[in-house]
């Protein structure tokens, strides 16, 4: 199956097709230099596109999720999907759907599931990453934690991708936008064009200041 055939599959999830294609293109480029990592596997929609990109370049994707759903996916909340309830426990469990997606796409040797809270995995992580895609919990605390514990693992030249950035608060929560601004304001990243709500930042090469850090330097001298 190629990526054009992948586009015909409808995944449970929250990504527009052009956003998903951007994940594919960036992971194909980045994964030549090191593993990619996503926070927020859900049912495997974004992992499918990232995984296709990684596979073409001979790389891998680590995909982290506790598979218990975010706040907004719980019963009674806006993005609740009753298909994802485990009848035995009455709790959300996205792992069976995620595994089915990865198996049916033949991505078993490319997409490595990690079933855990993101911050727990990060405590013992040492491998440098070529791309980090943050699409886990959307509260300020969750988004900030994900940014804070993972960003130092990104290789110089690597991509930091953040989903659900809404400039207008009437259109969506502001936590992803907040960590995007935080990353940009650090002076470590250059800003690349967004695709809809997908923010794309690139970590500056070692020793190369970004425009933002040059501006800050100028302000203080
Ligand atoms: C918006 S969904 C991800 C959608 C997916 N990236 C896609 O496009 O198909 C968010 C996911 O993050 C997971 N999640 C939320 N908080 C998490 C945390 N602290 N650690 C790991 N996973 C988390 C939820 O279980 C949920 O499946």
Q: How confident is the model at residue 210 (pLDDT cuts 50, 70, 90)?
A: confident
pLDDT tens, position by position, 49-64: 999 999 999 999 999 9
Determine the atom of ligand 1 nearest the C-alpha atom of 145: 19
Ligand 1 center from residue 3 Cα (angstroms): 23
Ligand 1 center from residue 21 Cα (angstroms): 19
Ligand 1 center from residue 207 Cα (angstroms): 34
Ligand 1 center from residue 60 Cα (angstroms): 19
Mean per-residue pLDDT, 59-73? 97
Active site residue 66: no
Q: How confident is the model at residue 215 (pLDDT cuts 50, 70, 90)?
A: confident
Ligand 1 center from residue 204 Cα (angstroms): 27
Q: Which of the listed residues 136, 142, 150, 166 should we mutate to test ligand 1's pocket, taking the one with most ligand atoms within 8 A of CB?
A: 136
SS3 167: coil
Mean per-residue pLDDT, 71-87? 96
Greatest CA separation for the chain: 64
- CA-closest candidate to residue 91, choices 69, 111, 66: 69
User: Which of 67, 138, 220, 221 is the catalytic position?
Assistant: 138
Q: How confident is the model at residue 207 (pLDDT cuts 50, 70, 90)?
A: low
Is residue 208 pLDDT above 80, yes or no?
no
Phi and psi for 56 in degrees, rounded to 5?
-65, -30
pLDDT at 218: 73
Dihedral-angle region of residue 56 (phi above 0 means left; psi in -120 to 50 means alpha; beta otherwise) = alpha
What pairs with residue 159 in β-bridges? 131, 202
| Ligand 1 surroundings by CB, under 6 angstroms | 13-15, 39-40, 42-43, 45-46, 64-70, 94, 117-118, 135-137, 142
- Which residues neighbour 144 within 8 Å (Cβ) at sequence distance 6 or greater? 175, 178, 179, 182
Determine the atom of ligand 1 nearest the C-alpha atom of 146: 19
Supply the residue whose CA is at minimum distance from atom 18 of ligand 1: 117
pTM: 0.95
Q: Which percentage of the chain shows pLDDT scores above 90?
A: 91
- CA-closest candidate to residue 117, choices 76, 64, 161: 64
Angle between helices 45-57 and 17-30 (to 10 degrees): 30
Is residue 206 pLDDT above 80, yes or no?
no
Segments of the chain assigned E as strands: 36-39, 61-65, 85-86, 91-92, 111-115, 129-134, 154-162, 189-195, 198-203
């Amino acid at each position: 199956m190629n990526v054009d055939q992948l586009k015909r599959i409808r995944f449970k999830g929250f990504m527009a097709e052009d956003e998903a294609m951007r994940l594919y293109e960036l992971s194909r480029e980045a994964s030549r230099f090191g593993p990619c990592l996503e926070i927020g596997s859900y049912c495997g929609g974004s992992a499918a596109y990232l995984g296709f990109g990684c596979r073409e370049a001979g790389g891998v994707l680590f995909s982290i999720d506790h598979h218990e759903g975010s706040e907004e996916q719980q019963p009674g909340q806006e993005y609740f999907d009753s298909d994802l309830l485990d009848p035995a426990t009455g709790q959300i469990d996205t792992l069976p759907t995620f595994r089915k997606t990865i198996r049916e796409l033949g991505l078993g040797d490319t997409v490595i599931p990690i079933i855990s809270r993101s911050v727990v995995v990060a405590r013992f992580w040492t491998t440098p990453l070529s791309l980090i895609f943050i699409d886990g919990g959307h509260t300020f605390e969750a988004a900030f934690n994900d940014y804070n514990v993972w960003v130092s693992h990104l290789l110089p030249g690597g991509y930091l991708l953040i989903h659900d950035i809404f400039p207008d608060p009437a259109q969506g929560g502001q936590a992803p936008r907040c960590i995007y601004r935080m990353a940009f304001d650090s002076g470590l990243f250059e800003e690349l064009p967004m695709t809809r709500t997908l923010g794309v930042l690139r970590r500056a090469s070692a020793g190369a200041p970004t425009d933002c850090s040059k501006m800050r330097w100028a302000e203080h001298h």
